[in-house]
Amino acid sequence: MQCYKQGLIISQIISTQIFKTKKMNTELVKVDPKEFGLEEVQVATIEQAFMPKIVERDGYAVIYEQLITKELTKELCNEAGDFRRKLVKVRTGIADIHKTQKAFFLSAGRFVDAWKNKETLLTAIQSYVLLLIVKLKM
């Protein structure tokens, strides 16, 4: 019953937000790899990692639209609660994928740094020795 009473209070808020939500859902937001100095080919594996959760999320769009337009009842409150838990799992799944992908690329960056350090160490030592020889001449 409490859900129903609270629902009456928020129903006006929801009804004013439906248009904004529908408008927001129809706008495609594209992250351009070129803005990050990357090519489409380079980010394909990242996009593929996220794809299962994106497909799941997009599949829920119809259910969401149906729920927010139903009459506010106790049953709707229960349905909304169940559905919200599904959305939370999608959101946390996306966060897990983000964490895994980011960890991989941070590790790759550390590897590149270590590789560069290994490959430049010898020339840095050689350059320093030559500098000492040049200074001895003076």
Spatial distance between the Cα atoms of 14 and 36, rounded to a whole number of angstroms: 37
Q: How many CB atoms lie within 10 A of CB 90?
A: 17
Does residue 20 carry a pLDDT above 70? no
107-123 residue pLDDT tens: 999 999 999 999 999 99
**What pTM was estimated for this model as a whole?**
0.68
Spatial distance between the Cα atoms of 113 and 109, rounded to a whole number of angstroms: 6
For the segment 81-94, the average pLDDT, to the nearest whole number, is 96
